[in-house]
Amino acid sequence: MSQRKSYAAGTGLFIVLGFAALVYLATQTTSVVNSHQGASYTVEAQFANVGQLKERAPVKVAGVRVGQVQSITLLPGKDVAQVRLSIDRKFDQVPADSTAVIYTSGLLGDQYVGLQFGNAKSYLADGGHLVLTKSTQPLEEMLGKFFGAGGTADAFGGSYKVNAHFTNVGTLSVGAPVRMAGVAIGSVSDVKADPVKLDATVTMLINGKYNQIPDDSAAAIFTSGLIGSQYVAIQPGGSPNSLKDGDQLVLTQSAMQLEDLIGKFLVNGSSSGNNAGGNGSSNQPAGKH
């Protein structure tokens, strides 16, 4: 009996010590470690979704810690989160056009802010602002990317809108990427039916750094892969004038439905068969030899 009691007591003590060790490690890897920082400068970034990002979360460059999240607030009257980052002074050569991205450590780990360097010759300074950001991605968006969709960095305060009309948008939805030469340059911000023209109006938000797109460019709705998500592809034209905020893309190509593709395939196949038969009969001489 005494052996059973001692065994139970030992097991209980082991469990308690295990939990205590986990609590200690969690404390050391979050609040305590993140609170140690020397001289620093502050920059701000805006995100459409910060997910589970918390204050004192790390700020990293190439996996190396360079600072921490100082504060997270909601902009008054807007559904946008403003995140203030405190960066160590010794990392004072972060390009001004760098992108701030919210990542997750491991599968279920804590979130942190990663900085992807840009190409600007000027550097971030105290009170600076990171225009290009990429928010945390919900599970739905991650599954969408798995099936072929793609995203682009949010460009708060550095983007412009263009419109395009399509007779058929297929399954194109808000948030779908806008690409040029396969590179994401923006996203679809609105898709609605035009009650007058009886077609669909698609509004696209283009990153401001792509401000040299010819205004006679064409917009086409393509599908990523065989059963992937749809996106808008911009095919540059040759006009010397560039697209401006509020412009409309006149040349468009609507989404191709699977039924249309099958129909075209069947029609082309039957036409080829008829032509082959016609050619066979026409090759026979009808007149004198």
Q: Give the 3-state secondary structure of residue 2.
A: helix
Residue 286: CA count within 13 A, CB half-sphere: 4
The β-bridge relationship of strands 58-61 and 111-116 is parallel
Q: What is the chain's pLDDT, residue by residue, as a tens digit (289 residues)?
A: 566 666 666 676 778 777 776 665 554 444 444 445 578 999 999 998 888 889 999 999 998 999 999 999 988 877 788 999 999 999 999 999 999 999 888 666 788 999 999 998 999 999 999 999 888 765 545 555 554 445 555 665 578 999 999 998 888 888 888 988 888 888 999 999 888 888 899 999 998 888 899 999 999 998 876 667 889 999 999 999 999 999 999 999 987 765 566 666 676 665 555 555 544 444 444 444 4
pLDDT of 159: 86
CB 69 within 8 A of CB 55: yes
CA 109 to chain centre: 21
The number of beta carbons lying within 10 Å of the beta carbon of residue 96 is: 17
CA distances from 164 to 12, 18, 75 (A): 67, 60, 31
Delimit the domains of the chain by residue range: 40-136, 140-259
CA pair distance 176, 164, nearest whole angstrom: 14
pLDDT of 107: 62
Residue 190: CA count within 13 A, CB half-sphere: 10
Query: Full-prediction pTM beyond 0.75?
Result: no
- For 190-224, give the DSSP string: EEEE-TTT-SEEEEEEEETT----BTT-EEEEEES
